[in-house]
Homo-oligomer: A and B are copies of this chain.
Amino acid sequence: MTQPLAAARQAVPFLDALPEAVLRSAQTVSLEPGALICLEGDLCQGLPIVVEGEARVYRTSDSGRALTLYRIAPGESCILTASCLLSGRPFPAFAEAETPVEAVVLPAAAFGRAFAEAAPLREHVFGLLARRLGAVIELVDAVAFQRVDVRLARHLAEHADGEGRLARTHEALAEALGTSREVVSRTLKEFERRGLVALARGEVRIREAAALRTYGA
Question: Which residues of A does B touch, CB under 8 Å?
Answer: 59, 61-63, 65, 67, 69, 79-80, 82-83, 86-87, 89, 92-93, 122, 125-127, 129-134, 136-141, 143-145, 178
Given A89-B134, A122-B126, A143-B143, list of 19 further CB < 8 A pairs?
A59-B137, A59-B140, A61-B144, A61-B145, A65-B145, A67-B144, A83-B134, A86-B127, A87-B127, A87-B130, A92-B137, A93-B137, A122-B122, A126-B126, A129-B129, A129-B133, A133-B133, A139-B140, A143-B144
Q: How far is the CA of A163 from the CA of B122 in the complex (A)?
A: 43
Give the top 3 A-B pairs by smallest Cβ distance, nearest first.
Answer: A83-B130, A61-B145, A144-B178
Partner of A92, one of B61, B65, B138: B138
Check if B92 sits within 8 Å of A130, measured CB to CB: no
Flag if A92 contacts B134 (CB, 8 Å).
Answer: yes
Known: A83-B133, A87-B130. A140 touches B67 (CB 8 A): yes
A136–B138 touching, CB < 8 Å: no
Residue A141 contacts which of B59, B86, B130 (CB distance < 8 angstroms)? B59
**A85 nearest CB neighbor, chain B only:** B130
